[in-house]
Amino acid sequence: MKKYKYIKEGDANLSPFDTDVSKELTDDETIEGYLNYILEQGDEADLKRALGHIAKAKGMTTVAKEVGTTREGLYKSFDGQTKVQLDTFMKLIKSFGLTIRFAKA
C-alpha cells in the first residue's frame, strides 16, 4: 500500500484536512492511502471531510445510490453538523471498494 502521495514529511504548506483534494483522488491506491493517512493523523471531523472528498471523486450521485440515500442527503452527511451513522459509514466504505481491518497498535 502506498502512502498518500500528496503528503510529504515536513510539508507544512499542504493540509489534507482543510483542502478539497477530490480532484487528486484519481485511483483506488491513492484513495486508500489518503484515507489511511486521515485515520492516522486526523480526527472525526477530518474523517468526515475526507469521506466527502472521496465521494465527490467517485461521483456523489453514484455513491448516494450505492449507499441508499439522496445526493443531498449525502452532502448533508459531510456538512460537519450531521453525525454519520455507523451503517452509513460502512456503506460508504463498501461503495468506495474498501474494507476495514484492525491491527494491534
- pTM of the model as a whole: 0.80
Collapsed DSSP state (helix, strand, coil) of residue 7: coil
* 41-76 residue pLDDT tens: 888 888 888 999 999 999 999 999 999 999 999 998
* 79-101 residue pLDDT tens: 878 888 899 999 999 999 999 88
Q: According to the model, what pLDDT value does residue 15 have?
A: 52
Q: According to the model, what pLDDT value does residue 16 have?
A: 53
Q: How far is it, in rounded angstroms, from Cα 23 to Cα 85? A: 26
Whether domain 22-95 has CATH 1.10.10: the reply is no
CB 25 within 8 A of CB 52: no
Q: What is the CA radius of gyration of the chain?
A: 13
Q: How far is it, in rounded angstroms, from Cα 7 to Cα 66? A: 29
Please identify which residue in the block is written with the cell numbers 456503506. 91
* 7-35 residue pLDDT tens: 444 444 445 556 788 888 888 888 888 88
Q: According to the model, what pLDDT value does residue 8 have?
A: 44
